Structures are given as structure tokens and as C-alpha cells.
């Protein structure tokens, strides 16, 4: 399909220009730029001299070397790489929002403030919590903010000894790091055989120094912590607080109210569950929702609505303060609001129904061909395979992931969670059809069959632009600029 590809520098022809500026160059020369001489360039930059067509083709071609959700199925576990409706992009780009500035006075920001207010109200209604802050910029930032609230709670109560947070080994990796950054000590808790937290193990770990627990629910092995209320009650007996990592909320949204499970603070990943495309390092939003115990300390400003007017209130002296400039990542919040309104009460629960159904469908069809830990139960929104069977036959999870690339798929998350040997974590999300899932499952089964016949896939992928990399060198010593090969 590709003709012999020349790099843009190799296409350069001296004197060729993409654009001819039509202004009067003599006139331009009379304008002296206010840049100090020392910083002015003496020689022209070494840029490829190419036509506009060359440039357009170059960048368009590069864009095809990447894989994206718009091209195909992206089962990257834990990341919720789902299709996000384009309408939300359009709405978040409306000029009234796009051209507003967060420093505008409240009188002319009423529309934007209304969106903040209404989104907070919607998230409170969906989760059952009495209070919300939209400020955190991502999931991990929400964790950090929630932990600062926990810290403040203990400070105000004079609980000076409470400096430890219990984190099960089925938690997301950001949990222990947020905990450390917030100044707590992490106490790991091993999951039971069934991949869940056991109350007897927790009893042995908890003590007077326990400031709280951070639970991911559903946890990173795709299972629901069904004893969460009992766990929360035990933590509360020690005046500890319960943090719930709610990044996997697409598995449970609309089914029940997290607030009723004894949780004190929970973040949501709007860039997973609520419509902002996730990945590529773009902006996110990790709002937190809190119980009455923690609401007095939420970040300022609070967005208020009185007598038909929206306003910002900075007066709360007990607040942990501001944790983000202005009020949060507005574009992401807008998309989430549009998404919630477009689904409404009637359809919001279909997110969780379909994401769980899709994951269980994958699990059911794959379980004969792969070892699946904890398969005795249904999974939530993701299923996890282990490579133990394929190991005996001479292959590995890494090789299978690379083989999937040759079959046109982005691989699932691999070697995470750590508690499953050679894990492959598949999150199909709610937006994929049965046909897409079947094609993907068939591809995985075909790989397993070939491994049985003696193929190891040690040199896959072969059919893509970049074949097998030395990943450590690629990460540590990346070559990021054009270097002419000296032959």
C-alpha cells in the first residue's frame, strides 16, 4: 500500500516554497522587532523546503501510523477507551463557551457558572453524595484532593496519630502514589484468593493509626468489592475515612448509589466514564464527591445559586484551599454535562449494563482458551486472562499482545494488575457491538490455537510500520529528530 516513503527532509528541494507571503516585504523590514540582538537568528533555520502538498501529505501520512479509537477496537483495560459521541465535542466548542474567559465577572459568566452548578447537581444525583467539587484535573488529582480532605478532617478532630492509609493490592497504581504525595504512609493489604478484600485480613491491618482506606471499586481485577459496607463500617469504628477510587464507574453507574456503601469521598474520571476522549495526555477532569463529614473542607470557590443568580464563594475558612487555577477543566466538564443530558435518567444505567455484559461475553467466549483467574464469578466491566497455559506452550502475554497488533487491534493492558501472572486485561467498554467483540475474540482464539501448534510470536508484529522494538531502549533513549544516515 505504501510507496517507498521519503522523509520530509529527503523531499526538500532548494528554493521550493509552500506559501508565498503576499505582503510588502520592504515595508516589513522597516518594522524593527523588539527582540534583543543576541537572540536574533543570523542564518535561516534548517527546514525542509517543500510545497504545501508535500507538507499536507507528510502530516496526514504520519497521522495514520498511530492507532486510534476511530480506527478500531481499543480494549485497553482500566482505561475505558470507548467511543465518545461527536455531538459532545461540538457542544463544548460552541463559541459562547469557547470564547468566555474564566476571569470574566460573574455577571457575564452566568451561562458557564450554570453549567458548573448543574453538572455538580447531576453528579450528586447520580452518586447519591451531598457535595461535589469539579476542580481536580484528573483521576489522580482527585485522589490527592480527597486525601487532603481526609487529612484536614483528622487535623480538625485532633487525631494526631492518624497517618496511615490502607491500600489493597488490587488498587490502581495511582492510589499509593497519591497517598505518599499527600503525606500519608501506605499500608498494603493483600487480596484474598478470590481477588477481593477480606474482612479478617483488614481487621489484622487496621489500628489507631489508620487514617483511612482507599478502595477501587470495582477493583482492578474487574471484581466488585461486595463487602464494601462492612469494610466501611469497620474503618469508621476507628474514625477512619473511606476513599473510593471511582474511575471504573462505567461498571456501576445507575445501578446503585455509592453514597449508601459508607464511602466518604470518591472521584470520578469524566475522561473515562463521561465522554471526554481519553488518552494522548489531553486534559481530563476528576471531580470528587463527598459525604457530610468531608464537605466542610472542599476546595474554594464554591459555586452557589441564590435568587436566580450564580456566584462564586471564596469565604469558607475551613477549606483546604484551591487545588487548580480557576475552576477546573471547563471543556471536559462541558462534554460530561452534555453526555449526561443526552442520556438522561432513562438511559444512564445502560452504560453499566452494556459494559458489564460486553466484558462477560468476552470472558465466556475466551475461558476455554485461556486461564482466567477468578472465573468462578461474573466479572464487572473488564475481564483478565493469564498467560500460564500459553507459557507452557512457549509463548507469553507480550508476544500475544504483539500478535494482536498484526491482526489490526490495539493490545489490551498487559502485565497489570500485578497480582495476576502475565495478565491481559480486556475492557471492551459499552460502545462496542457484538460483531466487533466476536471479531476480536476470534483473533485472540486464533492466536491461542497457533501457539498450541508451536508458534511463539516472538517476532510479531511484522505487518505494521514499526515492528518489534527494544522497549527499554525506545523509552530511555528515544531518537526524536531526523538524522541522516551516513553510509
Q: What gap in Å lies between CA 269 and CA 142, rounded to an integer?
A: 9
Nearer to ligand PLP, 113 or 414 (CB): 414
Per CB under 6 A, does 329 bind ligand PLP?
Answer: no
**Contacting range for ligand PLP; rule: CB under 6 A; set: 240-248, 331-339, 420-428, 472-480:** 240-248
Between vectors from CA 142 to CA 139 and to CA 146, what angle results, nearest 5°?
A: 145
User: Do 119 and 289 touch, CB atoms closer than 8 A?
Assistant: no
CB of 271 to ligand PLP, least distance (A): 6
**Contacting range for ligand PLP; rule: CB under 6 A; set: 34-42, 119-127, 134-142, 257-265:** 134-142
Q: What gap in Å lies between CA 2 and CA 51, rounded to an integer?
A: 20
**Which residues have a Cβ under 8 Å from the Cβ of 336 and sit 6 or more positions away?**
119, 270, 274, 275, 276, 285
- Out of 109, 127, 133, 216, name the contact with ligand PLP by CB under 6 A: 216
- Contact string 95-124 vs ligand PLP (x = CB under 6 A): ------------------------------
CA distances from 107 to 135, 301, 308 (A): 21, 16, 12
Nearer to ligand PLP, 299 or 461 (CB): 299
CB of 284 to ligand PLP, least distance (A): 5
Q: How many residues bind ligand PLP (CB under 6 A)?
A: 13
- Contact string 249-278 vs ligand PLP (x = CB under 6 A): --------------------x---------
From the number of C-beta atoms within 10 Å of its C-beta (0-12, 13-18, 19+), residue 479 rates as exposed
- Out of 50, 123, 138, 266, name the contact with ligand PLP by CB under 6 A: 138
CA distances from 79 to 27, 75, 76, 269, 451 (A): 54, 8, 6, 10, 28
User: Do 304 and 310 touch, CB atoms closer than 8 A?
Assistant: yes
Query: Residue with CB nearest ligand PLP?
Result: 139
The DSSP code for 323 is S
The DSSP code for 482 is -
Q: What gap in Å lies between CA 393 and CA 399, rounded to an integer?
A: 12
Per CB under 6 A, does 411 bind ligand PLP?
Answer: no
CA dihedral 462, 463, 465, 467 (to 10 degrees): -10
**Contacting range for ligand PLP; rule: CB under 6 A; set: 133-141, 190-198, 202-210, 361-369:** 133-141
Per CB under 6 A, does 140 bind ligand PLP?
Answer: yes
**Which residues have a Cβ under 8 Å from the Cβ of 253 and sit 6 or more positions away?**
126, 273, 348, 349, 351, 352
Per CB under 6 A, does 50 bind ligand PLP?
Answer: no
- Out of 168, 222, 277, 284, name the contact with ligand PLP by CB under 6 A: 284
CA dihedral 356, 335, 120, 251 (to 10 degrees): 10
User: Do 100 and 115 touch, CB atoms closer than 8 A?
Assistant: no
CB of 54 to ligand PLP, least distance (A): 37
Per CB under 6 A, does 381 bind ligand PLP?
Answer: no
Phi, psi dihedrals of residue 166, rounded to the nearest 5°: -85, 130
Nearer to ligand PLP, 158 or 280 (CB): 280
CB of 78 to ligand PLP, least distance (A): 4
Upper half-sphere CA count for residue 289 (Cβ side, 13 Å): 28
CB of 325 to ligand PLP, least distance (A): 18
Nearer to ligand PLP, 214 or 447 (CB): 214
- Out of 247, 268, 398, 425, name the contact with ligand PLP by CB under 6 A: 247
Per CB under 6 A, does 289 bind ligand PLP?
Answer: no
Q: Which residues bind ligand PLP (CB under 6 A)?
A: 78, 138-140, 172, 174, 216, 245, 247-248, 269, 284, 286
Amino acid at each position: 500500500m505504501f510507496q517507498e516513503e521519503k522523509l520530509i527532509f529527503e523531499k526538500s528541494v532548494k528554493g521550493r516554497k509552500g506559501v508565498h507571503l503576499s505582503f510588502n516585504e520592504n515595508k516589513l523590514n522597516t518594522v524593527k522587532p523588539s527582540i534583543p540582538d543576541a537572540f536574533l537568528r543570523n542564518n535561516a533555520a534548517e527546514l525542509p523546503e517543500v510545497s504545501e502538498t508535500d507538507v499536507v501529505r507528510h502530516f496526514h501520512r504520519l497521522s495514520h501510523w498511530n492507532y486510534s479509537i476511530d480506527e478500531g477496537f481499543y480494549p485497553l483495560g482500566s482505561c475505558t477507551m470507548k467511543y465518545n459521541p461527536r455531538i459532545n465535542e461540538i457542544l463544548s466548542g460552541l463559541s459562547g463557551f469557547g470564547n468566555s474567559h474564566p476571569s470574566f465577572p460573574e455577571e457575564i459568566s452566568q451561562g458557564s457558572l450554570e453549567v458548573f452548578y448543574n453538572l455538580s447537581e447531576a453528579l450528586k444525583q447520580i452518586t447519591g453524595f451531598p457535595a461535589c467539587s469539579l476542580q481536580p484535573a484528573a483521576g489522580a488529582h482527585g485522589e490527592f484532593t480527597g486525601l487532603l480532605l481526609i487529612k484536614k478532617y483528622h487535623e480538625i478532630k485532633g487525631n494526631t496519630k492518624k497517618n496511615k492509609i490502607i491500600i489493597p493490592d488490587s488498587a490502581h497504581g495511582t492510589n499509593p502514589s497519591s497517598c505518599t504525595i499527600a503525606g500519608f504512609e501506605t499500608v498494603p493489604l493483600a487480596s484474598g484468593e478470590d481477588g477481593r478484600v477480606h474482612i479478617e485480613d483488614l481487621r489484622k491491618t487496621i489500628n489507631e493509626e489508620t487514617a483511612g482506606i482507599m478502595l477501587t471499586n470495582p477493583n482492578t481485577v474487574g471484581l466488585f468489592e461486595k463487602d464494601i459496607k462492612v469494610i466501611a463500617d469497620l474503618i469508621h469504628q476507628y474514625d477512619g475515612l473511606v476513599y473510593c477510587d471511582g474511575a471504573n464507574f462505567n461498571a456501576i453507574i445507575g445501578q446503585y448509589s455509592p453514597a449508601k456503601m459508607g464511602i466518604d469521598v470518591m472521584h470520578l474520571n469524566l475522561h473515562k466514564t463521561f465522554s471526554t476522549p481519553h488518552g494522548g495526555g489531553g486534559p481530563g477532569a476528576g471531580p470528587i464527591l463527598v459525604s457530610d463529614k468531608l464537605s466542610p473542607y472542599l476546595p474554594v470557590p464554591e459555586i452557589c445559586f441564590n435568587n436566580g443568580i450564580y456566584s462564586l464563594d471564596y469565604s469558607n475558612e475551613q477549606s483546604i484551599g484551591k487545588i487548580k487555577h480557576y475552576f477546573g477543566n471547563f471543556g471536559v466538564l462541558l462534554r460530561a454535562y452534555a453526555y449526561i443530558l443526552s442520556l438522561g435518567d432513562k438511559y444512564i444505567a445502560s452504560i453499566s449494563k452494556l459494559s458489564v455484559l460486553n466484558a462477560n461475553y468476552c470472558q465466556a467466549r475466551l475461558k476455554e482458551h485461556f486461564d482466567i483467574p477468578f472465573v468462578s464469578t461474573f466479572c464487572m466491566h473488564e475481564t483478565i486472562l493469564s498467560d500460564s497455559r500459553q507459557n507452557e506452550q512457549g509463548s507469553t502475554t507480550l508476544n500475544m499482545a504483539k500478535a494482536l497488533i498484526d491482526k489490526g487491534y490495539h493490545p489490551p493492558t498487559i502485565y497489570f494488575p500485578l497480582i495476576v501472572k502475565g495478565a491481559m486485561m480486556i475492557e471492551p467498554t459499552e460502545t462496542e457491538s457484538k460483531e466487533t467483540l466476536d471479531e476480536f475474540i476470534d483473533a485472540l482464539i486464533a492466536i491461542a490455537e497457533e501457539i498450541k501448534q508451536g508458534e511463539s510470536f516472538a517476532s510479531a508484529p511484522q505487518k505494521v510500520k514499526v515492528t518489534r522494538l527494544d522497549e527499554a531502549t525506545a523509552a530511555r533513549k528515544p531518537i526524536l529528530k531526523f538524522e541522516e544516515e551516513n553510509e
